[in-house]
Structure 1
Amino acid sequence: MTSNGTVKVEVGLGDRAYDILIGSGLVGRAGEEIAARLPGIRVAIVTDENVARAHLDPLTASLDKAGISSTAIVLPAGEKTKSFAHLQEVVDGVLAARLERRDAVIALGGGVIGDLTGFASGIVRRGMNFVQIPTSLLAQVDSSVGGKTGINSTHGKNLVGVFHQPRLVLADTDVLDTLPAREFRAGYAEVAKYGLIDRPDFFAWLEKNWQEVFSGGPARTEAIAQSCRAKADVVARDEFETGDRALLNLGHTFGHALEAATAYDGTRLVHGEGVAIGMALAHRFSARMNLASPDDAARVEAHLKAVGLPWRMADIPGELPDAERLLAYIAQDKKVSRGALTFILTRGIGKSFIAKDVPASEVLAFLKENHPG
């Protein structure tokens, strides 16, 4: 912890290592933190309309105070912004501002803005500096860390992108106070995920302390820091997801399929909710395959239900495509290799593992059993 109460987590990638700073008031200190690491730069700030209203002026003032000139690119809010059209808008905006390769692009927003901005900064001028200022819980604990960037395709989620690491991540805990309750809950699914992957003590701590995490204060900072440490450890071991990093996809294979099945309609399902249902399904499927106890699946479902997250497909409003169509979405997912289905399954709480060559017939039967139709 630094002198001003900020927690620092380092992502250890050798000469590309960077800090994640977690604490209060970091938007107001962004200029000095960025200037200390990237002196003499100019920046483009990419944000969305909702975030801009709350946080763009304080960020711009902080940059001005540090002598950093900035231009803002404000996009529509929502998952559908992760598109080729808005990628072009960001790239053109950065080039129109005459920013050079040594300058930086700042993502001020949630996971959508972070993913899109990271991709743009990774390809414009063949790669520019990139700073993440995540404004949602989901982005602070997951998508802002690790350098996975991208946009969605009509074929599925996050299928187009690059690995491009940020130079700095500023996770201001104060900005979470402006989040709608649904968005905070959705981000909490990614926090719980770290406990379910390989930190059973953390999951047990969350079961006891989740209400304090939701209400703010030290427990919230601790949960974010623990999540960032967990992700930083995995990224340092496996930056390009050739091995262990795939564990971070716990719940995501089912979750991404459900997002695609709802056409990325945020009124029906947002990413963290898809992950929550996906984690419950992964534990239930593991029990079906006699890998884990049904009691573990019930425990995961009970915790998700307690915090107000959806935990089964029936919790998604509206009709879903049939099980065969859901399986087709799963088969399009990036976790597929040469047509074989790969899932993150579990042998118990905090005992996740990469399961390759999962029979499609077993997955289809499971989807039929759990389909609300």
Structure 2
Amino acid sequence: MSSIIQKGGKRPIIIAGPCSAETEEQMMETALQIKEFCNIDMLRAGIWKPRTRPDSFEGVGEVGLSWLVDAGKVLGVPTTTEVANTKHVEQALKAGVDILWIGARTTVNPFAVQDIADALKGVKIPVMVKNPVNPDLELWIGAFERLEKSGITELGAIHRGFSVYKHAKYRNVPNWEIPIALHERLPDLPIINDPSHITGNRNLLLEVSQKAMDLNFDGLIIETHRNPDVAWSDAAQQLTPENLGVLLDSLVLRSQNSEKLDSEHISVIREKIGDLDDRLFDILTARMQLSEELGIFKKEHNITILQPEHWKKIISARLNRASEYKLSDRFVRQVMDAIHQESIRHQVRVMNHSSDKEEQ
């Protein structure tokens, strides 16, 4: 089959279906409702559910594979499910599942990814890989490399956010800079956004989906259930097929045509931005020269580099002015932390005569 997750194909790719296959009737009715209210490119369902705590619903297992495949035939679209070990791979392939994905809890374990890659040697099937639960770009890339070495050539990434403790808004924080960095490293790799697992809240799905489209993601994977309120897993983040149709109709798909960005007006704006960037780095250079002077003073008077109370005052003062700067608190904090770390690096070099090469 021609893989639907090839870069440069249809955009956006829409993958939808329930978090978990619960019953044969639930799978078929969900598929029929999707067919009624919207067009999708791939039907998903969880067959094995890796849960955080024991005694939770962990999927119906192998029996659900035929329900998924049959529902996909009714829709006339490929099917996809998560595999976490070699047994899952064997059973999914035997049942005729078209596309596999590796979940975040598996991606974090190179041994588990390698086992799956070994099980897929000689098999021609597309595989999608979710980001690891922790924000580790190299670990994510390593999973693709392992699969490629096993002969899997049709690969896609799923960005589902990263685990944190009690975030005020998201179930898993997006950390958009990581999938953006993935695209920089692997520009031909399709990236699918998973707003369901990022938000954990159906009311935020459109907001995150739109941002993913604005950042030029290749598609969306959205959990969809015939009756989300009674779903056996992750009820709060699932949509009805009808509401999925509303969400998809609400998305604004902006042009990827870069020729429009070559106008004289855009060139002038970009030139101004470049000038400001140059000034920013000139200022940062001057700032680090002053840091080195501080380092010399501290060395002469045998004072530690880190002065926590002074640093707290600086951070507090900048955060208090974030709205005045028209910048988010998070951005101000990140910038100040980066400046602080670079300042420490310069002072360490002065005080201990270390080289840049040693510090890196």
Tell me which interval the TM-score lies in, with the shorter structure as reference length: 0.3 to 0.5
Greater share of strand: 1
TM-score, normalization by structure 2: 0.36
Give TM-score scaled by structure 1 length.
0.35
Rg larger in 1 or in 2?
2
